[in-house]
Amino acid sequence: MAEKPLTDWNSGLLDCFEDASTCCYGFWCCPCLACTVSGGFGENTCLPLCDILSPAITTACGIPMAVPAAVLSLRAAMRNRYGIKGSLCKDIAVSCFCVWCSWCQMQRELKHRKITPTVINLQSQTIVNMQPPPMMMVSGNPPQAGFMSQPQFIMASH
């Protein structure tokens, strides 16, 4: 089976002016945008809160956290589901250095995927029920050996 060719993201990482409403929403309420993207992709809406709360928790415990796990995992999953070009290394870099731009890009991608029409080709199927015609029996004793030359007639030899 041939694989679908990989495509690019619908918009670039810094294409905020392509959909200003998304970036304005992300600017004023970044956690809200992240939770909206997570829910829109089918994941738990509270997943991005891990990225928001984990640095505080890990810092309090003295554990450095380098990569925000929620944005990284969601970005990689989105690339995988939609067949978008990229690599895990690029996802890590974007997740570390452009986290809010990444959330905005994923939101624009989800919007694009919901707008793109899905074409369904319906074909009517004719169902033919083929049943053999009823057999006619010769009165008297049934033939001992016989064969059918036509579906409606029985030829017997005695």
Q: What is the mean pLDDT of each run of 10 residues along the chain (158 residues)?
A: 80 80 66 86 84 72 74 93 93 88 90 69 67 62 55 54
Asked if residues 95 and 72 have their Cβ atoms less than 8 Å apart, the reply is yes
Are 107 and 22 contacting, i.e. CB atoms less than 8 angstroms apart?
A: yes
Domains of the chain, by residue range, sit at 16-115
- Give me the pLDDT at residue 77, please: 94
Q: How far is CA 106 from the centre of its chain?
A: 15
User: Which residues on adjacent β-strands are paired with residue 7?
Assistant: 84
- Rounded to the nearest 5 degrees, what angle is found at the Cα of 28, between the Cα atoms of 91 and 81? 30
Helix (H) or strand (E) holding 145: strand 145-150
Rounded to two decimals, the pTM is 0.62
